């Protein structure tokens, strides 16, 4: 059943969109990831313009982040003060990212920017995830070592320190602001929540306890992606509500099945599979950047 997307200005099979949403939702429930870094390239593959894919996927992440943040709020696993510091940097990064996105869209270079960002970040994240997963499988056969958390790093020597009681930290606000800025920039340019960067940074760089990391990350992502969606909708006019609704419905259904299936499989094997899929998507995007197009010239109306 073909359905016309007014903002994307393309006709797409509605069941295909529901299936994509369900597949990424399945991965979200299965692997514990947001799935935005996979959904946006998949939308580009089926013909959705990159500008619309980025802005609409940010809209979908708002809903999923809100649901997760509320669950962690009820369990009291959200560091509100740390979340607000991350959010301060995130909002600035979002504004900068949207303005950069707008300028490059007017120049006709936004597709190249989105593709390059995904090739770089998916390649790095997928490679590191694959190596870490293989090492985790080897450790599980020998018995996992006790987790090690560094007591003091260079972060603690920076000025403008603040106490974060929920995380039991007394550190400078500079690193959280910079992390938030980077995540906001990625949310505006790539249409991702940025949790795949923020969560490791909060654990290994800031030294936050894992019990509050996910909830605090979702708290910040919820507002940053919301701001990115609002700015894209009002300045770039690239948020397609129909597309977002179909993806959201499929994602909610798929996440339920993924959560149930994930309890039956080993975590290390799941991470290897996820890393493999990330690298495959990265390879496809990289190939599209260097491959000769089927039609060297095309006619299109200037906007």
User: In whole angstroms, what is the distance from residue 2 CA to residue 266 CA?
Assistant: 39
Q: Which of 112, 106, 98 is nearest to 224 (CA)?
A: 98
Which residue has tokens 């260097």? 290
Long-range contacts, stretch 138-144, CB < 8 angstroms, 24+ apart: 140/268
Of 46-60, 82-96, 244-258, 259-273, which has the strongest mean pLDDT?
82-96
Answer yes or no: are the C-beta atoms of 40 and 53 closer than 8 Å. yes
Query: Which candidate, 94, 87, 83, 69, places its Cα nearest to that of 180?
Result: 87
Strand partners, 5: 10
Name which of 2-11, 150-159, 178-187 the model is least confident about. Answer: 150-159
Separation between Cα atoms, residue 76 and residue 145, nearest integer Å: 28
Q: What is the pLDDT of residue 302?
A: 47
Those residues with Cβ within 8 angstroms of residue 145's Cβ, 6 or more apart along the chain or in another chain:
139
pLDDT of residue 148: 47
The neighbour count for residue 214, using CB atoms within 10 Å, is 19
Asked if pLDDT for residue 6 goes beyond 90, the answer is: no
Give the pLDDT band of residue 92 (cuts 50, 70, 90). very high
Distance CA 76, CA 281 (A): 36
Place of tokens 């795949």: 196
Tell me the pLDDT band of 169, cut-offs 50, 70 and 90. confident
- Residue 237 vs residues 9, 92, 105, 131, 171: alpha-carbon distances, Å: 12, 20, 12, 40, 40
Query: CB-hemisphere CA count at 13 Å for 88?
Result: 11
Residue that has been written with the tokens 């419905």 in this structure: 249
How many angstroms separate the first and last alpha carbons of the chain? 29
Average pLDDT over residues 2-22: 83
Look at 90-94, 168-172, 173-177 and tell me which has the smallest mean pLDDT.
168-172
Q: What is the pLDDT of residue 64?
A: 67
Question: CA 208 to CA 214: how far, in whole Å?
Answer: 10
Residue with tokens 């903002």: 7
Q: What is the pLDDT of residues 202-234, one digit of tens each?
A: 877 787 887 788 778 878 888 888 888 888 888
pLDDT at 303: 46
b/e per residue 119-143 (b: at least 16 CB within 10 A) = bebbbebbeebbeebeebeeeeeee
pLDDT in tens, 139-168: 767 655 555 454 556 666 777 888 888 778
Residue-averaged pLDDT of the chain: 76
Among the ranges given (99-113, 231-245, 257-271, 283-297), the one the predictor scored with the smallest mean pLDDT:
257-271
pLDDT for 45: 81
Q: How confident is the model over 91-96, as a mean pLDDT?
A: 91
Task: Band the pLDDT of 259: cuts 50, 70, 90.
Answer: low
Which of 23-32, 49-58, 144-153 shows the lowest per-residue confidence on average (mean pLDDT)?
A: 144-153
Percent of the chain with pLDDT over 90: 2
Mean pLDDT of 61-69: 70
Report the relative pairing of strands 10-13 and 161-164 from DSSP bridges. unpaired
Given pLDDT bands bounded at 50, 70 and 90, which one contains residue 193? low
Cβ-based burial of 286 (10 A; exposed 0-12, middle 13-18, buried ≥19):
middle
pLDDT, greater one: 288 or 303: 288
pLDDT for residue 285: 76
């Amino acid at each position: 059943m073909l359905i016309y997307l007014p903002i994307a200005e393309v006709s797409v099979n509605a069941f295909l969109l529901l299936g994509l949403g369900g597949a990424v939702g399945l991965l979200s429930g299965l692997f514990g990831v947001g799935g935005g870094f996979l959904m946006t390239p998949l939308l580009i593959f089926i013909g959705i313009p990159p500008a619309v894919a980025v802005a609409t996927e940010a809209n979908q992440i708002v809903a999923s982040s809100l649901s997760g943040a509320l669950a962690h709020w009820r369990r009291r696993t959200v560091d509100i003060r740390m979340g607000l510091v991350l959010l301060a940097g995130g909002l600035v990064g979002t504004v900068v990212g949207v303005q950069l996105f707008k300028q490059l869209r007017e120049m006709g270079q936004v597709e190249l920017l989105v593709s390059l960002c995904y090739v770089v970040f998916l390649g790095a994240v997928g490679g590191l995830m694959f190596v870490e997963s293989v090492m985790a499988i080897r450790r599980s056969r020998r018995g996992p070592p006790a987790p090690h958390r560094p007591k003091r790093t260079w972060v603690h020597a920076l000025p403008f320190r603040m106490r974060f009681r929920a995380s039991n930290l007394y550190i400078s606000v500079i690193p959280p602001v910079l992390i938030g800025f980077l995540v906001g920039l990625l949310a505006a340019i790539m249409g991702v929540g940025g949790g795949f960067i923020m969560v490791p940074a909060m654990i290994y760089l800031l030294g936050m306890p894992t019990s509050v990391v996910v909830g605090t990350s979702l708290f910040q992502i919820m507002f940053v992606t919301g701001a990115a969606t609002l700015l894209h909708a009002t300045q770039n006019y690239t948020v397609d509500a129909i597309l977002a609704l179909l993806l959201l419905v499929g994602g909610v259904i798929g996440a339920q099945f993924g959560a149930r299936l994930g309890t039956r499989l080993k975590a290390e094997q799941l991470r290897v599979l996820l890393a493999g899929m990330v690298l495959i998507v990265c390879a496809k995007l990289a190939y599209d950047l260097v491959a000769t197009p089927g039609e060297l010239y095309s006619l299109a109306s200037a906007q």
